[in-house]
Amino acid sequence: MVQAKSWTLVKHFDGFPKDGDFQLKKFAASGVRRPFSRFHMKEGDVMIGTQVAKVVQSKNPEFPVGSHVVSNSGWRSHSVSDGTDLTPIMADWPSDVSLSLALGSIGMPGLTALYGIEEVLGLQQNETLLVNAAAGAVGNVVGQIAKIKGCKVVGSAGSDAKVAYLKELGFDEAFNYKTVPSLEEALKNAAPEGYDCLFENVGGYFSTVALPQMKTFGRIAVCGSISTYNDGTPQTGPYPHMTMIVKQLKMEGFTQNRWQHKNPESLKRMIGWLQEGKLKCREHITEGFENMPAAFMGLLRGDNIGKAVVAV
Ligand code: NDP
């Protein structure tokens, strides 16, 4: 029996998570209950999270020993699966591409960016796109794909280091939303012509200010609402309906799994961009299983540039 470790939720977060909300346990590897999101978690559950895992024992020929999978088994060092919740990493994954990118730019977050742009926004050459949380795992890929498509890209992020990173990636305009005197002015200055498309990761106040900066017939892909995830009670108003009407905007929420049948072809395309140097991938790596809560709290504080990964 393999000795395994896990991090469990001791107590539901009251506002921002604290060290005492998590507990490190040692146990024999076993099958796992997988809550869909942290909002579905019960106290005592293993923290949710996605990992690249190596198959070390197998009775399933689809997952031979030594192969790699993306697994949603949470904050565990080892787990047992019947295979239904595992995604095999393609056997011809190039040896010069780090496997951890299967969690980020060449995985679910990257696919989220691609599908938001191609399937939801239908982004066209020469359009102007705004993305927030732009230095995050999804946002940085959004901006880079939009550049590949010949668009003007504006990104907002929460530190000067992140803004510098966005410029390095080729964003046309980037600003620190925490230090600009006025978010409205920053959005206007970055694109006086207005925005054709908004890739929305943040929600809340940012949305309220950004919507009036859209062009008439602008399109908005609602991918996330990270500014609201720690709210104890759902936010109320201000509602964007009048702006939506006056600007005749189209807003669509989505989850990336709607297009999962396209994943193999999409991942190959993105690996191609990576190898051609058109897509750059940066990860924010924390070393050590013991440091998972610290990495998670850092993520919620916005410490990460690119995908937050814990190397075990
Ligand atoms: P990351 O975890 O990589 O980065 C999140 C970033 O969001 C942080 O680094 C921080 O950057 C910013 N942020 C955190 N808290 C706040 C806040 N209160 N207000 C404003 N910004 C904040 O995120 P991902 O790129 O993986 O995910 C981005 C969004 O997309 C999330 O909302 C996520 O839930 C959603 N998502 C949706 C999917 C879908 O299928 N619809 C799939 C995957 C993700 P900064 O310092 O710049 O503020």
**Of all protein residues, whose CA lies closest to atom 8 belonging to ligand 1?**
302
Across the chain, which distance is largest between two alpha carbons, in Å? 64
Of 87, 83, 88, 80, give the one whose Cα is nearest residue 32: 80
Q: Give pLDDT, residue 88.
A: 92
Q: Give pLDDT, residue 1.
A: 60
Give the Å distance between the CA of 205 and the centre of ligand 1: 15
Q: Judge if the beta carbon of residue 138 lies within 6 A of ligand 1.
A: yes
**Of all protein residues, whose CA lies closest to atom 33 belonging to ligand 1?**
224
Give the Å distance between the CA of 204 and the centre of ligand 1: 13
Q: Give pLDDT, residue 302.
A: 78
The pTM of this model reads 0.88
Q: Are 195 and 217 in contact (CB under 8 A)?
A: no
Give the Å distance between the CA of 98 and the centre of ligand 1: 22
Superfamily per CATH, domain 108-257 = NAD(P)-binding Rossmann-like Domain (3.40.50.720)
The hierarchical CATH code for the domain 3-93 is 3.90.180.10
Q: Give pLDDT, residue 34.
A: 58
Pairing outcome for strands 214-222 and 250-253: parallel
- The amino acid present at 302, given as its one-letter code, is G
Name the residue ranges covered by the structural domains of the chain.
Answer: 3-93, 108-257
Burial of residue 58, with CB atoms counted within 10 A of its CB: 0-12 exposed, 13-18 middle, 19 or more buried: middle
Q: Judge if the beta carbon of residue 103 lies within 6 A of ligand 1.
A: no
Q: Which atom of ligand 1 is nearest to the CA of 306?
A: 3
Of 194, 207, 220, give the one whose Cα is nearest residue 116: 220
Pairing outcome for strands 3-9 and 22-28: antiparallel
Residue linked to tokens 């720690």? 230
Full pLDDT tens readout for the chain, 312 residues = 667 899 999 988 888 899 999 999 987 766 655 555 666 778 889 999 999 999 999 999 999 999 999 999 899 999 999 998 899 998 889 999 999 999 999 999 999 999 999 999 999 999 999 999 999 999 999 999 999 999 999 999 999 999 999 999 999 999 999 999 999 999 999 999 999 999 999 999 999 999 999 999 999 999 999 888 877 777 766 677 889 999 999 999 999 999 999 999 999 999 999 999 999 999 889 999 999 999 999 988 878 787 889 999
Give the Å distance between the CA of 48 and the centre of ligand 1: 16
- Kindly provide the ipTM of the predicted complex, given to two decimals: 0.98
Residues 6+ apart with CB under 8 A from 62: 83, 88
Instruction: Indicate the top mutation candidate among 105, 117, 138, 305 to test ligand 1's pocket, ranked by most ligand atoms within 8 A of CB.
Output: 138
Task: Compute the C-alpha angle 206/209/214, nearest 5°.
Answer: 110
Q: Give pLDDT, residue 2.
A: 67
Q: Give whole-number Cα distances, 30 to 10, 42, 70, 76, in Å.
A: 20, 18, 17, 10
Q: Are 126 and 153 in contact (CB under 8 A)?
A: no
- The amino acid present at 263, given as its one-letter code, is N
DSSP codes joined into one string, 59-128: S-TTS-TT-EEEE---SBS-----STTEEEPPTT--TTS-GGGGGTTTSHHHHHHHHIIIIII---TT-E
